[in-house]
């Protein structure tokens, strides 16, 4: 057609113009079909309510006290065109709900905690926890009853407001649980004396009873082994089993009955680190009703909280947070856990921006009240027995940042539980004993009361302890005055002496050249070098033996004998055994007048061949 258009045949001007218009129209229409798709995007109307009124992480640019429009739920759903799940639908098929209405303005107003208006802030806006609860873990190195009085007076001086008592097997349980208690368990009279002393020192008392995991003290025994969630691991109880549930209720009731006499505003049900769920027969059966392991766990936490609240009115239930964050928010709402418990977010790392990110807090944002939990001992490695204040002080410095940021997202940040673990679990070795860590607790408390890092300058602690305890691992200050201060000095002195011994064993060329394993086994070496080595062995052995003797004397004032034996066996026994073995070798070689010809190893034909394989 174009060829004809531009050909030589004569056509009228109007015909040619007509052809030109047609071509132009076709061209414009064709090019319009290749434009960007943005011009065809569906129009989305502007939301009829502010975005921050939907239950999502708050935008820091928007004031948290702005209220959403007063609209009915049906109108909101219709205008936003939300697909809201039917609450009567089978839970297995329920999708995650979007909450379109905030329950309460956050943070809550006109709240009084311990006689002070909430929130309590430093001049530069840092939150100061108004409940400062010190955790006492009695499943390792429990103390004699008279030590509690000194301890509670110390807590008053550092401005602690309460204690979290984890009795475990030191509580004098009766009935079926009587056979599981510690041989050194307190009598009921002693338990009441301890609680009276805490009350006398105006300390709020919170009992902690594990109700899901960390029940090794029961499940390790043959008579309770059938109640394990997993037959191989005595950690988690088969809580879906009726017999196990009855046992848990008995345990809760025995502890709560005595605590209620002295005030029990809070009760901690544990519920952390349940590594095995949905394995025992009863749990497999129950999952058919609850649909998932996570919902099974939430069902148990909910009924445990309900049992405590219904049996002991006016008591608020606490639970560790770590199992909750594995569940969907809609499932947590289904079991009404936001109405039943207050989660306690715990982490003992030095940098909580990494280990407790804001996303964790946001997973629990539907709870009105939350707690935090730091550590002052028992969280720097299962075999840490000496003082390492630096780790714990950094943990508390990081917690200041955490709860100052997070408290605005909740109605109330209830307080900080400062945990002092004695063991990582029932089977683990002893961690720091309480006297070794009291300076760390004092420094940590001063840090959170100031609301800022103190850069190794702790004047309140220095005045309280009559010394300036260093923050570095294994170092100590002399002349300190606090309950068990002599144990603090001896244990850290022991650590330093052991580090010197380990360096000597690894690096000394005379020791490794002339008093090696060959000398121990075959009693051959040079008298010249043995005489020199003997002086070094005694230089290391004598101080450690003196420390062992002094530690036993001081520890007997606070701890039971079996705990002292365990501590010395675990942390000093191996070094003393090695030193005594070297002494015996030195004595044998020093009295020898002759030695066999080489090869030494093969000269004793009665000795079995040396194995080169691990067994």
Question: Is residue 25 within 8 Å of 67, Cβ to Cβ?
Answer: no
Report in angstroms the alpha-carbon separations of 421 from 146, 160, 165.
21, 17, 11
- Using DSSP's 3-state secondary structure scheme, residue 373 falls into strand
Distance separating the N- and C-terminal Cα atoms of the chain:
95
Report in angstroms the alpha-carbon separations of 319 from 68, 208, 247, 298, 315.
31, 9, 19, 11, 13
**CB count, 10 Å around CB of 44?**
7
Q: What are phi and psi of 417, to 5 degrees?
A: -95, 120
User: Does the bond joining 206 to the residue before it have cis omega, within 30 degrees of 0?
Assistant: no
The closest of 295, 290, 279 to 327, measured between CA atoms, is 295
- Using DSSP's 3-state secondary structure scheme, residue 98 falls into coil
* Residues in the chain, overall count: 615
- The set of residues, in sequence order, having a beta carbon less than 8 Å from that of 211 and lying 6+ positions away, is 239, 248, 251, 252, 269, 270, 271, 300, 304
Taking every pair of Cα atoms in the chain, the longest distance, rounded to a whole number of angstroms, is 138
> Measured on CA atoms in the order 414, 416, 420, 426, is the torsion positive or negative?
positive
Report CA 550 to chain centroid distance, whole Å. 34
Active site (annotated) includes residue 273 = yes
**CB count, 10 Å around CB of 215?**
29
Q: Which helix (H) or strand (E) holds 591?
A: none
Question: Is residue 416 within 8 Å of 374, Cβ to Cβ?
Answer: yes
Residues 407 and 19: their CA atoms lie apart, in Å, by: 75
Which residue has 């017999």 as its token pair? 243
Phi-psi domain of 500 (left: phi exceeds 0; alpha: psi -120 through 50; beta: other):
alpha
- Using DSSP's 3-state secondary structure scheme, residue 116 falls into strand
- Cα-based angle 150, 156, 162 (whole degrees, multiple of 5): 100
Which residue has 């204040």 as its token pair? 389
**CB count, 10 Å around CB of 27?**
10
DSSP assignment of 488-551, as one string?
HHHHHHHHHHHHHHHHHHHH-HHHHHHSSHHHHHH----HHHHHHHHHHHHHHHHHHHHHHHHH
> Quick one: tokens of 288?
């058919």
Alpha helices in 70-203 (DSSP H): 73-80, 145-157, 188-200
Q: Which of 150, 192, 250, 273 is catalytic?
A: 273
Question: Is residue 318 within 8 Å of 344, Cβ to Cβ?
Answer: yes
> Quick one: tokens of 498?
């052991």
Q: Which helix (H) or strand (E) holds 358?
A: helix 358-363
Question: Is residue 508 within 8 Å of 465, Cβ to Cβ?
Answer: no
Positions marked active-site: 273
């Amino acid at each position: 057609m174009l060829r004809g258009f531009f050909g030589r045949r004569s056509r009228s001007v109007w015909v040619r113009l007509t052809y030109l218009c047609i071509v132009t129209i076709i061209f414009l229409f064709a090019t319009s079909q290749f434009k960007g798709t943005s011009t065809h995007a569906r129009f989305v109307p502007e939301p009829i309510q502010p975005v921050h009124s939907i239950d999502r992480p708050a935008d820091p640019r928007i004031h948290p006290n702005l209220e959403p429009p007063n609209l009915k739920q049906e109108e909101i759903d219709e205008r936003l065109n939300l697909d809201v799940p039917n609450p009567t639908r089978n839970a297995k098929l329920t999708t995650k709900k979007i909450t379109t209405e905030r329950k309460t303005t956050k943070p809550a107003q006109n709240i009084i905690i311990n006689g002070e208006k909430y929130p309590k802030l430093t001049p530069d806006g840092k939150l100061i926890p108004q409940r400062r609860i010190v955790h006492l873990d009695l499943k390792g190195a429990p103390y004699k009853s008279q030590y509690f009085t000194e301890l509670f007076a110390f807590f008053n001086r550092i401005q602690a407001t309460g204690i979290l008592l984890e009795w475990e097997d030191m509580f004098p349980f009766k009935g079926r649980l009587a056979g599981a208690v510690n041989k050194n368990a307190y009598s009921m009279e002693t338990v009441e004396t301890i609680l009276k002393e805490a009350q006398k020192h105006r300390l709020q008392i919170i009992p902690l009873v594990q109700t899901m995991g960390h029940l090794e003290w029961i499940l390790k025994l043959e008579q309770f082994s059938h109640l394990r969630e997993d037959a191989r691991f005595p950690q988690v109880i088969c809580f879906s089993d009726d017999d196990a549930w009855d046992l848990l209720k008995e345990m809760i009731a025995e502890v709560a009955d005595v605590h209620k006499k002295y005030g029990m505003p809070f009760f901690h049900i544990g519920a952390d680190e349940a590594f095995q769920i949905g394995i025992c027969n009863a749990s497999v059966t129950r999952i058919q009703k609850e649909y998932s392991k996570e919902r099974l766990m939430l069902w148990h936490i909910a009924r445990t909280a309900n049992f405590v609240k219904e049996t002991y009115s006016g008591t608020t239930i606490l639970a560790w947070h770590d199992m909750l964050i594995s569940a969907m928010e809609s499932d947590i709402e289904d079991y009404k856990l936001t109405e039943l418990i207050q989660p306690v977010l715990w982490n003992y790392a030095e940098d909580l921006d990494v280990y407790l990110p804001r996303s964790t807090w946001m997973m629990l944002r539907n709870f009105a009240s939350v707690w935090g939990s730091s550590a002052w001992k028992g969280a720097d490695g299962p075999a840490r027995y000496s003082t390492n204040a630096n780790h714990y002080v950094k943990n508390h410095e990081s917690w200041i940042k955490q709860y100052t940021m997070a408290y605005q997202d909740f109605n109330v940040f209830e307080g900080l539980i400062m945990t002092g673990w004695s063991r990582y679990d029932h089977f683990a070795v002893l961690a720091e004993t309480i006297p070794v860590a009291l300076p760390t607790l004092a420094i940590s408390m001063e840090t959170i009361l100031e609301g800022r890092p103190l850069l190794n300058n702790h004047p309140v602690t220095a005045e309280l302890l009559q010394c300036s305890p260093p923050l570095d691992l294994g170092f100590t200050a002399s002349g300190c005055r606090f309950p068990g201060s002599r144990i603090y000095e001896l244990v850290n002195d022991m650590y330093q002496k052991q580090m010197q011994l380990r360096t000597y064993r690894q690096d000394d060329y005379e020791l490794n050249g002339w008093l090696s394993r060959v000398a121990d086994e075959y009693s051959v070496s040079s008298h010249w070098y043995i005489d020199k080595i003997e002086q070094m062995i005694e230089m290391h052995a004598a101080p450690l033996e003196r420390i062992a003797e002094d530690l036993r004397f001081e520890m007997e004032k606070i701890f039971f004998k079996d705990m002292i034996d365990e501590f010395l066996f675990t942390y000093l026994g191996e070094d003393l055994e090695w030193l005594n073995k070297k002494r015996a070798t030195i004595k044998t070689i020093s009295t020898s007048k002759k030695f066999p010809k080489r090869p030494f190893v093969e000269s004793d034909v009665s000795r079995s061949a040396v194995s080169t394989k691990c067994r």
